[in-house]
């Protein structure tokens, strides 16, 4: 019990230190840091209890994954908020690639077809897609405002609206993929990914763990690329109005 209390106290200290630093450096993020830390604490404690039940009742795994997908859609959709129907865009861009890749990984044996493997696997893929969609959407909406003159010039030169927006789409997708590209490049050198560590701790050989981790990592790269591209394409469609006009955000 004392060890658990010490760990919780250390976590609280990290959160308070981060909030204090944000205030001292006048970043205006101290409230967001504290709220994020508090939410993480409550959510992880609650999810830990729920997952214990899910592992015992396999029929609950599908609803649990649906909740994960809904939560990811809500978060990423918030980043797309200036766009029309942002959460529809987020749901499509996250759900299709993440669930498709999850099915393939189960089919080839990377994940066993049981809740203990499927639920964490879904979390990895949905979480990665959520990050890519959120970053891509934010970059696209920012670029649409910052580079409005460039888009207008292309329209005046006769480019169709989607063609005029294509450079913004490319920039947004590239920005959205920076985290996963860095993660993939540095795997095993800077960090040991969670799947690898979990398999080794569970008794798998390092070679087997490395093989499965590589497959998951490359699947995540493909999922995030597909999610970012889908988010950008749907965002472009959302801002193109009849008459080849581009909606103002």
Distance, in Å, from the CA atom of 82 to the CA atom of 113, rounded to the nearest integer, reads 39
The answer to whether residue 232 scores a pLDDT higher than 70 is: yes
Confidence of residue 195 (pLDDT cuts 50, 70, 90): low
pLDDT at 198: 67
129-177 pLDDT, tens digit each: 999 999 999 999 999 999 988 988 988 888 888 898 999 999 999 999 9
pTM attached to this predicted model: 0.82
pLDDT at 44: 84
- Tokens 């959709």: give the residue: 77
* 191-219: average pLDDT: 73
Are 140 and 172 a contacting pair, CB within 8 Å?
A: yes
Distance, in Å, from the CA atom of 93 to the CA atom of 25, rounded to the nearest integer, reads 36
100-137 pLDDT, tens digit each: 999 999 999 888 888 888 988 899 999 999 999 999 99
């Amino acid at each position: 019990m004392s060890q658990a209390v010490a760990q919780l106290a250390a976590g609280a200290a990290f959160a308070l230190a981060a909030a204090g630093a944000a205030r001292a450096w006048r970043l205006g993020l101290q409230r967001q840091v504290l709220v994020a830390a508090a939410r993480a604490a409550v959510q992880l404690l609650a999810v830990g209890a729920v997952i214990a039940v899910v592992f015992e009742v396999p029929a609950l795994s599908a609803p649990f994954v649906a909740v994960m997908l809904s939560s990811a859609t809500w978060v990423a959709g918030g980043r797309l908020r200036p766009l029309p129907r942002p959460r529809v865009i987020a749901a499509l861009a996250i759900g299709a690639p993440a669930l498709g890749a999850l099915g393939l990984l189960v089919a080839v044996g990377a994940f066993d077809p049981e809740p203990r493997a499927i639920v964490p696997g879904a979390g990895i893929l949905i979480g990665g897609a959520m990050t890519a969609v959120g970053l891509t959407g934010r970059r696209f909406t920012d670029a649409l405002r910052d580079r409005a003159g460039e888009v207008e010039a292309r329209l005046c030169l006769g480019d169709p609206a989607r063609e005029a927006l294509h450079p913004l789409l490319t920039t947004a997708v590239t920005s959205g993929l920076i985290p996963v590209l860095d993660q993939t490049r540095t795997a095993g050198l800077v960090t040991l990914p969670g799947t690898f560590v979990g398999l080794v701790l569970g008794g798998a050989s390092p070679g087997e763990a490395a093989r499965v981790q590589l497959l998951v990592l490359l699947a995540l790269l493909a999922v995030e690329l597909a999610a970012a591209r889908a988010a950008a394409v749907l965002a472009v469609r959302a801002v193109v109005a009849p008459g080849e006009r581009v909606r103002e955000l």
